[in-house]
Structure 1
Amino acid sequence: MWKRTEKSKRPRKQSKKETGFTLLLLSNSEKKPVQFQLPPLFFKGLLTVVLLLLGLTGYGLISAALLKPVARQKAALEQEIALLKVEQDKIRSENQNLKAYTEQQDREMHNLQEVSDEIKSNIENLQGRDSEIRGKLGLSENPPASSGNASQPGQTPVGTAQSTAELQPLALGDAGEGEEYNKLDGSAAEVILQRESSVQLSVMMGARQRGNTMQLAAELQRAQALVSLTSENYDEYEGVVASQEFQAQQRAERAQQRRQTVIGYALSFLGGRYVYGGENPYSGTDCSGFTRYILSHAGGVYINRTAAEQAQQGREVSIEEAKPGDLIFYSNGSRVNHVAMYIGDGRVVHASNERNGIMVSRWNYRTPVHIRNILGE
């Protein structure tokens, strides 16, 4: 018999069990703790996320620490650029004002030159017409001048002229073109030229349209008188221009225009910020910084920084003498602590305080202690 033999059983290989992580949640009570089995892959992922978050946080902190000085430099550069832009706008505005003032001066000089040229042209035309009429009368270009009523040989004394009816008439015939006139007596013609000095020039005659010697002599007389008057007016004009009164008037007009420029520039900053210690109305200024800035940029006058120091400059004036551009000072009882600029009509413009900024007030909204003429006119 065959014996059935049993196959030898080989021992099975035991599979490797992956180790995991157990999470226990304990409580103060006697209850059984809660267990959670965490697979290794989840734990590794969680650990990776935690490390990544820590790394990002550290990178952010380091970057912020490194970028902070750069941010400060950037802010400083932006502020400097803004100030430069404000200064550029201010210079552009000043250049425009200066250009307008220069153009106005050029126009005035051009007008004066035109008036002068016109007067000279009139004188030359009248002198030419005078020479033409003298030529027709047969008189010399430069007749000798009489002195007083003294008689000279061959001349009638001045002031004892004969009547025009006694003059020898000029024969105006019907001859053709080119025929000459008969000459008038020289002494009588000289008397006619010197008789009247305030008659205006009438329409110049044409040779063929005059019928007698009296009309021709009258035209010559009027022409000579107007030449004399025009010359006197031109000399008077030049004398007026060169006179001290005219120069003083011109200086006064320039001074008034300068003060108006100062006031117009000051009023352009109405509503601006008040900043204690500030010196630029574009970015903020206090009262004395405001007056100092306006007078230096629009008036060409440089004064001290504080109100107390400015109150010692210039010339003391009364409110009746005050002009636009003068400074009015106020005190707190012991010393000067505020300054404003007079703009006329009993008003001032000033950098008041942080609440009101640059504004217009009555000149005596506080009791003034000084009024100073800084511009000097």
Structure 2
Amino acid sequence: MPSLQHYSTFGLNASCTSISSFSDVSSFLSLYQPNLPTYILGGGSNSIFVGDFEGAVLVNEIKGITHYDTDTHHFLRVGAGENWHDFVALCMQNQWYGLENLALIPGSVGASPIQNIGAYGKEVNAFIDTVEVVMLTSGDKVLLSNQDCAFGYRDSIFKHKLAEKVLITNVNFKLPKDNVLEVSYGELSSLEDATPERIFEKVIEVRKSKLPDPLVLGNAGSFFKNPVVPLCTFEKIKKQYNNVPHFLVNASDEVAQQSGEPTMVKIPAAWLIDQAGFKGKEYNKVRCHPTQPLVLTNLGDARGEDVIALAKEIITSISALFAIKLEPEVRLIGSEGLITL
């Protein structure tokens, strides 16, 4: 069975029945076998194979970037197999602004709508116009609107109704020419005379200083989502931890929108994990990173069961301490496909 160790940035020693790559829809359809468990892989930066996968892994290498503009927007059609950061860098070179806060996020363009990737106050769904997919059951090509994708915080229809049912072939972006800069989050708030270029450079600088390079130390980026909790839950935590970092979130329900009152609060998962004492903690060959506890790392020859054990221990501790249930942001793949903790 072929090894998957070099197809996932976490680098666990797992294997699969077969592995192939494709660069267009016709080659994908020739490889895809409906009766065989199949996992479609992009850059492998958000997928952790915690055991041998008893099926086929198909690597999406659909490439190509085209651009046109109007008086108000830049429109880009991007192949799902393109590298995300390289695409953002290309946009910066051409002064197609909007994605600068999302620099250096690992992975492929095709994974961006699945995760609704985000950083420093921006989420990719704000810039996605449509997503081109192929239905696995029929081979039909379908164009999904932004609304069709049901985007949420690190969430989309591709994790629910369409999970394991479509192949994303291209993502179509719509970048406004009157781009509004977002510098309210974290280290960006210290920028003077902010420009898209300075934001882009600062985000890269900060991410490199805090996050381990997966080429050096195996990891899958942020392991957990930042939880969004009711205001009452946050108030209880604040009574004990007055310095708890947080961001107010406007609820999507109609009453909250009419009142304009925020009813939900986002709390950094890294802060919760740090308070629970996991920063730098090791479990066999898996470690909670010492400078960014939101990231779990492979110290070498880590096993899938060790990743799961440490993740479950963190989830249990955070639940006991703060009455918050952390949810993984990474996709964990077992012998038959995606698993949950």
Give me the TM-score of the superposition, normalised by structure 2: 0.18
Higher relative contact order (CA 8 A, sep 6+): 2
Give the number of the structure whose residues are more often helix, by fraction: 1
Give the number of the structure whose residues are more often strand, by fraction: 2
* Structure number with bigger Rg: 1
